[in-house]
Each structure stands twice: as structure tokens, then as C-alpha cells.
Structure 1
């Protein structure tokens, strides 16, 4: 049974309009082009749709934030005066790292502690922070979490994890590759259905890759088996749901990396792409463009359709989630690691053989929606017939922070949930923050500024990788950066009540494992149900208001100074020359 602290009441009961492919199935379909069809814009501002949506969202987040700050009870801080004097709305971003099911389950618990609809989250966690947040970014396993929420009509974590009858949406009791368990015919039937779906996409004139298979498997796991796992469901359907249109939920962003055709190098100069409910694109100088997501797959030249029809349905929901986690394509190709044997092994191996090639870790998007555009500098990629995207963590930025650093989004504070497996014990060591810090100097970023962070050895030796840490606390210390970055609250996975650091490639979890890891995630966000620090809600509130206090030249409350003394990185590095490993204790974990 799910621990009581995670029992939800359903937060929302709002009608939804689901947008499917015109074919009603996995294959994209032809539609009439809009009269003003020009799908690509320069990435020099927010889209008009996002700007309009933000106005609605802020009418929800600001009252929620007032309630959150009131409950925290910072002394000598007048909330009404603070908001009356505010120069702008406070914008909060949540970012959930990759890391397979470990990241998904830990992230679910971490997010539940932020949701005021979780039982005891207000009293023992950070309840209301989710309602106060504007952006919700996910990558790979973290994107399975955020995508599951958004594409199941923003259901609660309870419905994803647990039901009174059944196993919730996330039934992980069998490997995704062997969903039928003892029932081999169920598994074979699933692969047969997927084969037909890929054939239909090919017949419509589109290339397929192993990511198509991976995306369909994810759809069966996250969207249920009804209607062939919502085979025609699109990512852009999110924008058509009433709950999103009304601004009741955060703005979801899925992150992937670009790869130049014919190359195998992913580094900090690789282009970071985002999928959001309205658009696909990149702020980076290499592309510096966005395109209308619901029309990708349409043959275009500089954003203009080259035929008398347009395409919809290419942005299949599972395909987008699979793109952000295409690292698992390599796992699919190593069937000996999946636990599948016998006849089923032979059938799946044969099924994959026709798709395996040198680009097996990528997703192929054709036609290239940015073909022949002129905003970016990557001529090779912009002249390619296809767009190649891959797992968003392959550039070492396993926490999807880049979309939240864009100056146009004016994010004040980022909560970075790190469920990476940077160490032999499958625990994070801050490597993702180091990569994002270094990337701001790589020349490709859109004036991204990120606070100073230490090296990974210091993260471990000083305990920063096993407890929350604030980075960029005082803008006066950041004047050598291109601009003042958001304050970053780093929250790494730490095992408290269970050993939560499972392998990225563990593909099967019992219900007890699932429940206890989600519970541990709640404890990570709540500082072990506020038993490690009873002032944790207060300190988080101080991080949230800090940039606005600085912008309006208000004095920092004394209690916030105390919190910053406790949680802000002091700038020191470990120079001993020793190499450290984890040593968890009662205040950091098991």
C-alpha cells in the first residue's frame, strides 16, 4: 500500500480535449494548411502563445505563493508589502533529471512533497510549491514523470503510482520488453501491433528508427493499453486541454540534444532542443529557431510548406518521450541484458535487426522542420533533410536546466532535482550542474548565465551531493557573469528510508519497491519530513524571494540570512588532492 503521506485527493476534474493524429493511429496524416502557414520563427522572444499563457498562469501562481510564504512564517517579513512592491511576478522553475525509472520514481516522490494536494505535504513537506511554479522541465526518466502527468490530463501522483484496485498507471511489475510476463502471447501481440504501427508510418512516407519502437513501448506503460496505448496521442495535445489553457498547471518542457548528421560527438556545444505544448526548437545560436509543434512532419523550406497539404500527428506523445530518453535504444539492442530468453528473445532480435544501424541512439525527424532556415549557424544541420535528436542527458547536462536559463523566461529560482547515477553507487555527484556551468562559456548558449559551482569531488567531500544546497545566493557575487542567473536550489537523491539509488537500467520494480522509492523521494524534498531541519520550508521561501528582494533593493530578513548561512555554497573547494566517495550518515541518508 502506498504510504499515507502520499495519498492524494484528485486535484483537478476539468474536461479535456484530446488531439490525436488525423489518422487516429500512430502514422501522421495530411490536413489542410492554415491560411498563414509559416511555421518557423526566430528564437528571440517567447512565442505569443506562451506569453498569453503566462498571464493566465501567474494569476494562479502568485496567490499560491502568498499562501506558501505565509505558512513558512518568515519573521520580520510583510508578505503583502513584498508583493505590492514587486517589480514583476516571481517565476519558479522545477527541473527533474534523467536516470530511468529511478529518476521517475524518486522524482514522483519529490514532486508529491511540493503538491498541496498530497496528504501531509503542507505540514511535513513543501506543499504549495508545485502550485506556485510556472515551468516544469523533464529529461529522460524525469520526462517520463512530467510527461505522464501532463498526458494523463494532469492526474495526481497517486493515480500514477497506486489505485485501490490495480497498480496505478505505472505498472512496473514486468519489464517493458516483456510486459506479458508468463503470457508470451501478450508480449508477442504487443510487438506485432508495434510492427504494424511502424509499417503504417513508413507507408505514409516517413523514416523510422529504434526510437519509434521505444516510444511505443513507453506509451503502453504510461498511457495504458486502451486504444492501442493511445497510439495517435500527440504531445501538442497538452495545449488543447482546458486545465492547461486556464493556467492551472505548469508549462511542461521535454529536453533532447541535437546531433549533426554523420557524427557521434555529443558535447557542451551540442544544440539543446525543447518540446513544449506549442513548439519544438532551440534557443542556441546553432539553430536559434522554433517551429509549430503540431505541424512537424510537413515538408518545408525555411518554414514554408512546399506542398499543398500539411501534416499533423508526427509529434506522437510516446515518440517525444522516447526521443528524450533514446539512451535506452542501446539497451534494447543488448537483449542479453533484458532478461528475455527463448522464443521471445529470437522474435524480438529479429524484429530489431532491420532497424539497427550506426545511428541507433537517435530519433529521426523528417522532414527537417528547420530545413533551409537562416537564423542559426549550423549550416550542416540546417541543410539536412532530417533532424536528428537524442537523449537530453548525453551532453552531461542530465538536469534539464537550460530551458529555464533563457533570459526571455525571467526565471527567478530553479529547483534542480538530481536523480542521476554519476557514481558507482548510482548516486549524483553534481556533474550535471558542473556541465551547465561550463556550457555558458562554450559560445553556443543564448546569453545563459549559471551560478558558480564546485567540482564533483568537492560536491562529495563537502556533502553537497547528499543534501540540498543553494547556488548563486547573492547577485553581488555574480557580477563577472554575463547577467544575474536564477538562484538554484539543488536537491540530490539521497537514500533515507530505502536504498533509492537503483540502476538506471533496472527495468522491473515490485509494487513495494515502487512505493518505498516514491516515499523516499518525498523525504528527500522534505528533509526527512522536516526532522532534519524544521525550518526547511522557511529556508526554501527565502530562496524564492531572494532575487526579488535584490531587484527592489529590500533588506534580507534576518532568518533568511541564517538560512543562507546554512544552505548556500560558501565558494570553498576541496584542494586536498584526495578522491572521495559517499559516506552517508544519519543526517544525509542511510
Structure 2
């Protein structure tokens, strides 16, 4: 059975009730919960639905973890006895994928494929089977395009996507998918315009995020009727792959934003979206709402009209677009494009007007948290509209925050960073620094995150150039939190070049087949230490990190093998001198480390010498002009 048939069987036939009741992009009326039950809850723990799901998931992850640890060839260690008899609870593994457009999606795809035994070579040269032992899976922006694509397509594999050849056809930009065929492109935008008109005619606001989400759906949901126009995020909880707990629990991360502002600070409200809920752990909101009923008019969680609830607002493409509202980033990127003169003024004025009109953000109206009694910030719950934006705007581009909540008991996080922090579009640890600092802010709310150094140390000590463990010894972390909460051990793996220069621009919107496969393959090599050639014991070392928190809870000493691994991969607290010049640390050697050679060679041909950001062969201003022309045709009133 091919992928399309599998999806129709697994989703369309078995979970029709979770789709939009209008069978279109427009939300529509559905029955409210019995007895007008509240759809809102206080964020004093994980939901009963999530708790039940995770408990059942552990029945799969425990056995999968034993298999992985055995295959990792860990010495002086009885995996089966440790997992099934020694531990006082199941180990919670989480995997997080950063934002960064298609670069993050494709690198992340390669990295996840290295954990998946369905990938050719993952068992022999990778970390195959680890994704089966994973409890939580988070994605943000481009990272969530990857997570969402796999999750909403019957938990398909990256290998299947590459072999099937329909999903992720990136040869042409989503702004002009027809290439030189302008009629195909016009038809594409007409379909999107019609979808938006359906939602608007149903009485709901639309924004650029609606168009963005529908464009993404044309890339990710080709096997659904009308490219997933009626597909909802809550559909997933009725799908067999989720209800039988054969995939990790997916979480989308996005940020709240005050209308009219363009910068998100460390005190912003971080939102998460699961198949069950939308909400935030932050004191500013501290509430969650049932995602299936978004669009319903609520007052402190209860439907104002018990016979008029709404379904279909949580469109899957719209949720994925909410986590990646890149249009507002044009304002932040405009100064780096090389655009000058009247053209610069024209685009800047237009984008400024878009921001003022709040069209560059995702509009959730009516506000599902209206008059919530749990929120600490009145401006959020007194407004009739909730505004959400790209989850990386608060600089936490790796979506770690949901995994730090003590209620989730996460033991270890594999943090894949495909950010573009440096001038050459490589990561420099900035996301981890932002997450570390946030725990001390008013929004920290009892979360803890291991000590990390500044970005200069990340680069100078090669912490981005090979896997680095943070929080290796829990005894050194107890002072981070007044209640002594121990954070997860974090395994940080940053994008770097092995077989391919994968530092493409965040705004590169088209990839040839060779480019796509080149980035994915390189992502596999990042996760596997170049197919285990740089360290034949890398899988065992990762196994040592996975079991560490469980050992510490049971006061079990590490084996000699694990001690050696931790000596190799744990950050030891060293810092570089304040006057260290790290500006040349951009070229990579075959061992995975960086050097400060005078002639840096780590830049990709996707960034030219002047620093102008490219969109897969056309410069950024050309794409912006194309977008402006499109917007002139499509009304967003």
C-alpha cells in the first residue's frame, strides 16, 4: 500500500469527526461538551489525557530503550534489568528540533532519520531505534514543519518521503510553485484565496498566517483532499499511530505577542500546542484549552452558548504556520538584504503597515482564554483576540521550554540546533543561552536548565562542532532552583558540514532534489558523528547520557565506559577569556572541530560575499516583490 493510501486509511476514514465540520478550511459548528463543561484548565500539571497517553507510550518505549541500549554495545551494563527492574519509573527521552526555515526542516529530517530504524543505514551507522524509545518530540518553525509533516502523514518516515517523491517537492518556491508556468502558480494562489474566503465568509478573521499555512499545506499534505484544507491538528489524537502510542507525543511551540510590536523579549509568553491542548505554563497565562474547540466563544473556559461550539479552527497548516510566521521577520532582515533607495522605502513602509495591522501574526479570535481566572497578565485574557507568532522570536530557537516543566519528568533532551546565529548561518549556542537565562526571569515558573557558557565559548571550545552534554552531574545543579528541581541532561548537537554545506539561508525557499538530499544526508551525519567514523562508541556514549538521571536517582555509579564518554562530551565549565577573538572560527575540519585559520572556508554558496540573503537563485527583494504582487491580488480584509 502506498503512502497516499495509508494516509487515507489511517486518517480520512477513521477520524472524519475530528476534521473541520464544513469539510473545508472554514471552521463550523459542532456539539459542545456535555453539561457545558469547561474547556479550560489551570496549568497545575499535565492534562489527564496526556498523562494517560504517556503511561501507555511507556509500554512501548521501555522495550524500545532496552533494544537501543543493547545495540549500542554498552559494556558492564545490563539494559534489561536496569530498565525493567532497577528504575523507579520509565525514562522520558525528548527530542527537540530548532527553527530555521527549510534549512531546519531538512537538517532536522536527516537528524531524526538517524534515530529511526526505518531509515536505510540507521541500524548499522546511526542511532536506529532511539525514536521508538522517545516520549516527547518538539518542533518550532521549520523544525515543526518536519515534525508536523511526519506526524500528520501517518507518522511516515523520512525514508518513505524520499522514496515516494511527492511530499517535500521543493524545486520551486511556495510563492511560485509553477515555476515558469504562471498559470499553475495563478491557480495555486486562487485555491488559497478561495480557502481564505471560506474562512472569512464563515465569520472568522484571516491574516497572512492563514495564507502561509495553506501554502505550507501544499508542500506537506499532498495526500489529503484539497491539500488538507479540512485537516485539523486535533485529528491526530484519533489517528491509529497516535492512539496506539506508536509515535512520540508531538508539541508545537509558538510565542505570544502584543499587537504592534516586532520584538519578543525573555518575558514573552511561550505557548505550546499538543494534539490535546493549546496554552502556556507561564504565570502570565498558566492555562490550557482543548485545541479541538478553538474558535468557540468562551468565558473563563465555558461556552457562552452551550449549543454553538466551533470545530475546524485548529487547521493543521494554520497551526504549523503559527509556529513559523516568517513574514514579520522581513522587518528584522531588511537591513541585511542590500536593498537601498526607493525600493527599500517601499517595502519597509508596506511591511510596517502589515505589522501595524497585525496581519503578520496568527490571529486567534475569539480569544480562547478570554477572562481566564488563572492568568497573571490581564492584557492577555481581557482581549478579544489572542496573537501568536514564530516560536523563535524570543531567541529560544530550539524548543526546549515545554520539556523543562517539572510535571513532565523529562530525563534527557536531544537538542538539534539548526539555527543561523553566525554570519555564515551556523549555530553558536544562542538558543541555549536564552533558555538558560529565562529560568531566572519572572516567567521562569520553577523550571530549571543546566549551566551553559556564552556564545564565544560555544565556538572557541568547539561545543557546536561535536555533541556536547550539559548538566552531566545533578549534584552541581541543585542551587538552580529553590525547590531543588533537577533539569534534564541536555545533549546539544549543532548543524555543521560533513558531506554538504548545510548552512543555507533561512529564507531560501526552493531546493533542487540534490540540494534537498544533500542537506538531509548531512543531518544524518551530524546526529551520528559522521556515520560513527569519528567515534565508534558514540551510540554507547549517548546511551550513557540517557541512563544518567536514572542512575543518579538510584545512586548507581557509572561504568568505566560511561566515565570515559562523559570526560569526552560533557562541558566541564571552562570559559574562554573575554578578549578571545572568535570571529574566524567558522571553518570546520574533518574531525568535526573548528580552527581559527586566516582564510575561513565554512561559508555556503547560498550567502554571497556582501551578505545578501538569497532565496534559491533569486534574491530576497525579488521574492518580496513577488509576495507584494500576490497580496495585491488577494484580499485579506
Match of residue 493, structure 1, among 492, 495, 498: 495
1:297-316 to 2 correspondence within 5 Å? 297-307=295-305, 308-316=307-315
Confirm or deny that 1:128 pairs with 2:129.
yes
What residue ranges of structure 1 are gaps of 5+ in the alignment? 1-7, 339-350
The one-character-per-residue Cα deviations of 1:244-296 (angstroms, maximum 9, x if unpaired) are: 10111000001000013444441111010001000000011110000000001
1:205-220 to 2 correspondence within 5 Å? 205-220=203-218
- Helix, strand or coil at the partner of 1:15: helix
Deviation at 1:567, TM superposition (A): 0.1
Distance verdict in 2 for CA 1:212–1:329, change over 3 Å: farther
Which residue pairs with 2:280 in the alignment? 282
Deviation at 1:109, TM superposition (A): 0.4
Deviation at 1:329, TM superposition (A): 4.9
- Helix, strand or coil at the partner of 1:389: strand
- Helix, strand or coil at the partner of 2:55: helix
Which residue pairs with 2:589 in the alignment? 585
What residue ranges of structure 2 are gaps of 5+ in the alignment? 338-349, 594-601, 603-637
Which residue pairs with 2:625 in the alignment? none
CA contact (8 A) 2:256 2:268 kept: yes
Match of residue 295, structure 1, among 293, 296, 305: 293
Which whole-Å CA distance do the structure 2 matches of 1:359 and 1:334 have between them? 18
CA contact (8 A) 1:178 1:187 kept: yes
CA contact (8 A) 1:451 1:487 kept: yes
CA contact (8 A) 2:8 2:224 kept: no
CA contact (8 A) 1:133 1:250 kept: yes
Distance verdict in 2 for CA 1:333–1:560, change over 3 Å: closer
Confirm or deny that 1:80 pairs with 2:80.
yes
Greater relative contact order (CA < 8 Å, ≥ 6 in sequence):
1
CA contact (8 A) 1:211 1:323 kept: yes
Deviation at 1:55, TM superposition (A): 1.4
Which whole-Å CA distance do the structure 2 matches of 1:332 and 1:223 have between them? 29
CA contact (8 A) 1:42 1:375 kept: yes
Which residue pairs with 1:15 in the alignment? 10
Which whole-Å CA distance do the structure 2 matches of 1:119 and 1:158 have between them? 7
1:35-54 to 2 correspondence within 5 Å? 35-36=34-35, 37-54=37-54
- Helix, strand or coil at the partner of 1:528: helix
Which residue pairs with 2:103 in the alignment? 102
RMSD: 2.5
Confirm or deny that 1:34 pairs with 2:36.
no
- Helix, strand or coil at the partner of 1:549: helix
The one-character-per-residue Cα deviations of 1:492-536 (angstroms, maximum 9, x if unpaired) are: 001100111100000010000011111101100000000000010
CA contact (8 A) 2:100 2:506 kept: yes
Match of residue 514, structure 1, among 503, 513, 516: 516
Which whole-Å CA distance do the structure 2 matches of 1:237 and 1:569 have between them? 42
Deviation at 1:152, TM superposition (A): 0.8
Which residue pairs with 2:139 in the alignment? 138
The one-character-per-residue Cα deviations of 1:152-196 (angstroms, maximum 9, x if unpaired) are: 111111232332xxx330000000100011111111111112112
Which residue pairs with 1:191 in the alignment? 189
Confirm or deny that 1:174 pairs with 2:172.
yes
CA contact (8 A) 1:323 1:362 kept: yes
- Helix, strand or coil at the partner of 1:70: helix
Confirm or deny that 1:222 pairs with 2:223.
no
- Helix, strand or coil at the partner of 1:82: helix
Question: Please, what TM-score do these two structures have when normalized by structure 1?
Answer: 0.92
CA contact (8 A) 1:285 1:377 kept: yes
Deviation at 1:126, TM superposition (A): 0.6
Question: Please, what TM-score do these two structures have when normalized by structure 2?
Answer: 0.86
Which residue pairs with 2:61 in the alignment? 61
- Helix, strand or coil at the partner of 1:127: coil
Task: Between 196-205 and 391-400, report the one with greater CA deviation.
Answer: 196-205
- Helix, strand or coil at the partner of 1:417: strand
CA contact (8 A) 2:331 2:352 kept: no
CA contact (8 A) 2:7 2:223 kept: no
CA contact (8 A) 1:214 1:329 kept: no
Once superposed, which parts of structure 1, at least 4 consecutive aligned residues long, lie more than 3 Å away?
A: 10-16, 261-265, 328-335, 351-358
Distance verdict in 2 for CA 1:29–1:331, change over 3 Å: same
Number of aligned pairs? 569
Which residue pairs with 1:394 in the alignment? 393
Deviation at 1:576, TM superposition (A): 4.5
